[in-house]
């Protein structure tokens, strides 16, 4: 009997047909379902489909007299029995140099290895069982699965949903071979422009390069000042400084964590060229007010929309609200690739041309460089990945909204008791919920307690940018940014977070806060 904790079970044709034979509601079916609930992925090997189909045929012929089954074709029967099972691709390497007397057994072994070290192949076939690991018996399948750790984000659940489109898109690029600037790029740009409502979209190699290209497109030079928030990811100010510019920090609105428009005018000077608001955690900054100020002083507005693609502001979309906008397709962002990626957006055709030139070494025609640029193109394979993900993106945004509403309900008592502050989305906004970020006193203790309970959390961000060694400058401190850096805590947030898991996160947070309250804090103990 095998008791261990696999992450993946690959059913070979003999095991899968045993499942079909026993049907839904059987012991085997129940076991597999309970494993799937604990995030074990159950697979069948696509290379065994014809074997599975003939087994299903034979099964139905022998059961022809019994009711129920006969109404289905073997293919329908197979589809019904294996609902919830993922198809694992057969790859060229599975059969290459494979002179095993049971070539499929070796192919299954190779495919299981690809799934990782904790993958078993379940079989009812004695000769395969005799091979030992990774083959295990269908009868010996008793799995002690410890309560799993909550996932902070769950890209696996998303991948299960779009595996066919993803693999098809990636393989198409492998075959056509235009790995740089393939036709997938232009198609994706058109779709992203349409989704956001911006006139032009220019895909680039990361969110950071999107910011850099946008600043280059407006010709930021040494000594130029760009007004921005100090409470953001490092790249926002890093790109300004890389061009010799100076970030001038304006404090945040404590309710939304976004640039407080009321502080902007006082920061404008003769060297100010642009304002770069950050739409943090998925909610747009106050773009209308910011645009109005920028117009008065002839400044350019660049929205750092790395976290807010998909968000809306007064019914319009993030990335279509300013002269320029930049987003990121880093895997953990709401719309993430399987690697680095990003995009610039603009309403202005001549800025769009400049951005296209900048991302490709300033080329205007082959080997004719009329400007300095960067190697900032998005890979075609990432465009294929993003195209598959974009199809389910609206649905995922709705799911994130439901998760956020779930948290608001589950944690309302803690807010009423003054123990936490829930995120606030202004009535004219919808958030893309890149993060679900609360404020809490004793943040580090609470985070430690959550982690001990198997609940991951994160701090976005632990220090304002003016406290980063590489960016330290003599600018004034921003008290609200400093306070936010001490208090913020991001909870698990992704479209596939189910209610039971949310309840578990909420319970863990309640416990963490109760235990931190009962233990007097160090400073209180010293004073006493």
**Residues near ligand PLP (CB under 6 A):** 206-208, 232-233, 235-236, 278, 304, 306-307, 328, 330, 340, 342
Choose between 206 and 312: whose C-beta lies nearer to ligand PLP. Answer: 206
State how far the Cα of 274 lies from the Cα of 228, in Å rounded to an integer: 9
Write the CA distances from 391 to 78, 87, 385, 402, 524, integer angstroms: 27, 20, 11, 19, 53
Euclidean distance between CA atoms 4 and 97, whole angstroms: 32
For 473, the token pair is 């400058």
Q: Quick one: 217 or 278, whose CB is closer to ligand PLP?
A: 278
Q: Using the minimum distance from each CB to ligand PLP, give the nearer residue, 119 or 252.
A: 252
Q: Which is nearer to ligand PLP, 304 or 323 (CB)?
A: 304
> Kindly report the CA angle at 441 between 491 and 260, in degrees rounded to 5?
80
Tokens standing for residue 497:
């977070």
Q: Do the beta carbons of residue 288 and residue 169 sit within 8 Å?
A: no
How far is 195 from 218, CA to CA, in rounded Å? 25
For ligand PLP, give the closer residue by CB, 18 or 355. 355
Beta strands across the sheet bearing 312-313 = 316-317, 312-313, 429-430
DSSP 471: G
Shortest Cβ 360–ligand PLP spacing (Å): 18
Least separation in angstroms between CB 260 and ligand PLP: 17
With residue 343 as reference, give the H or E element that holds it.
Answer: strand 342-346
CB of residue 84 to ligand PLP, shortest distance in Å: 34
Closer Cβ to ligand PLP, 339 or 454, answer by number = 339
**In the bound complex, what is the minimum distance in angstroms from residue 496's beta carbon to ligand PLP?**
21
Identity of the residue, 346 or 382, whose beta carbon is nearer to ligand PLP in the bound complex: 382
CA dihedral 44, 49, 55, 60 (to 10 degrees): 100
Which CB sits closer to ligand PLP, 250 or 512?
250
Shortest distance, position 393 Cβ to ligand PLP, whole Å: 17
Written as six digits, the tokens of 241 are 């400084």
Q: At closest approach, how far in Å is the CB of 330 from ligand PLP?
A: 4
Instruction: Match 């000042």 to its residue by tokens.
Output: 225
Nearer to ligand PLP (CB atom), residue 49 or residue 152 = 152
Q: Which is nearer to ligand PLP, 307 or 380 (CB)?
A: 307
| Nearest-approach distance from CB 340 to ligand PLP, in angstroms | 6
CA 512 to chain centroid, in Å, comes to 27
Residue 347, helix vs strand vs coil: coil
- Both tokens of residue 44? 């069948």
- Residues near 349 by beta carbon (within 8 Å), at least 6 away in sequence: 199, 200
Q: Which two tokens stand for residue 414?
A: 């803690």
Report the nearest approach of ligand PLP to the CB of residue 332 (Å).
8
Instruction: Give min distance, CB of 173 to ligand PLP, in A.
Output: 21
Q: What φ, ψ does residue 207 adopt, rounded to 5°?
A: -65, -35
Q: Which residue is nearest to ligand PLP (CB)?
A: 207
Question: Of the two residues 56 and 307, which places its CB atom closer to ligand PLP in the complex?
Answer: 307
Q: What is the DSSP letter of 225?
A: E
- Least distance (Å) between residue 232 CB and ligand PLP: 5
Residue 230 vs 261, nearer CB to ligand PLP: 230
For 399, the enclosing helix (H) or strand (E) is helix 380-410
Are 259 and 277 in contact by the 8 Å Cβ rule? The answer is yes
Q: Which 3 state secondary structure label does DSSP give 338?
A: coil
> What's the 3-state SS for 256-281?
CCCECHHHCHHHCCCCEEEEECECHH
Tokens describing residue 340? 């680095």
How far is it, in rounded angstroms, from Cα 209 to Cα 341?
9
């Amino acid at each position: 009997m095998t008791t261990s904790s696999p992450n993946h079970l690959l059913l070979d044709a003999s095991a899968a047909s045993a499942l079909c034979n026993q049907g839904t509601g059987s012991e085997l079916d129940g076991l597999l379902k309970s494993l799937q609930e604990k995030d074990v992925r159950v697979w069948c090997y696509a290379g065994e489909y014809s074997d599975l189909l003939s087994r299903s045929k034979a099964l139905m012929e022998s059961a022809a007299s019994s009711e129920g089954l006969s109404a289905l074709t073997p293919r329908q029967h197979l589809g019904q029995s294996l609902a919830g099972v993922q198809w694992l691709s057969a790859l060229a390497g599975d059969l290459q140099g494979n002179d095993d007397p049971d070539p499929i057994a070796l192919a299954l072994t190779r495919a299981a290895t690809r799934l990782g070290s904790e993958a078993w192949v379940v079989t009812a076939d004695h000769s395969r069982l005799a091979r030992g690991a990774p083959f295990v018996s269908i009868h010996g399948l008793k799995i002690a699965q410890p309560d799993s750790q909550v996932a902070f984000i769950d890209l696996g659940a998303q991948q299960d949903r779009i595996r066919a489109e993803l693999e098809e898109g990636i393989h198409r690029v492998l075959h056509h071979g235009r790995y740089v600037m393939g036709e997938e790029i232009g198609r994706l740009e058109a779709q992203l422009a349409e989704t956001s409502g911006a006139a032009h979209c220019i895909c680039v190699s990361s969110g950071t390069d999107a910011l850099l290209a946008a600043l280059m497109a407006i010709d930021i030079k040494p000594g130029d000042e760009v007004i921005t928030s100090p409470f953001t990811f490092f790249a926002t100010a890093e790109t300004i400084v890389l061009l010799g510019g100076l970030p001038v920090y304006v404090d945040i609105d404590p309710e939304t964590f976004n640039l407080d428009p009321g502080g902007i005018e006082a920061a404008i000077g003769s060297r100010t060229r642009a304002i770069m608001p950050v739409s943090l955690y998925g909610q747009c900054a106050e773009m209308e007010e910011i645009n109005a100020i920028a117009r008065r002083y002839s400044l350019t507005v660049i929205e750092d929309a790395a976290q807010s693609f998909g968000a809306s502001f007064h019914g319009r979309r993030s990335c279509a609200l300013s002269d320029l906008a930049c987003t990121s397709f880093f895997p953990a962002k709401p719309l993430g690739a399987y690697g680095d990626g990003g995009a610039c957006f603009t309403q202005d055709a001549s800025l769009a041309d400049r951005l296209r030139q900048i991302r490709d070494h300033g080329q205007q025609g082959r080997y004719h460089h009329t400007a300095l640029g960067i190697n900032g193109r998005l890979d075609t394979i990432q465009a294929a990945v993003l195209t598959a993900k974009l199809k389910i993106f609206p649905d995922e945004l709705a799911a994130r909204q439901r998760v956020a509403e779930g948290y608001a309900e589950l944690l309302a008592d803690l807010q009423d008791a003054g123990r936490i502050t829930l995120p606030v989305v202004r009535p004219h906004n919808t958030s893309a919920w890149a993060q679900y970020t609360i404020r809490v006193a004793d943040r580090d203790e609470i985070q430690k307690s959550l982690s001990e309970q198997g609940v991951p959390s994160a701090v976005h961000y632990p220090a304002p940018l003016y406290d980063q060694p590489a960016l330290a400058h003599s600018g004034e401190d921003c008290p609200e940014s400093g306070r936010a850096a001490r208090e913020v805590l991001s909870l698990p947030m992704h479209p596939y977070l189910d209610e039971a898991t949310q309840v578990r996160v909420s319970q863990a947070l309640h416990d963490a806060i109760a235990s931190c309250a009962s233990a007097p804090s160090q400073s209180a103990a010293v004073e006493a």
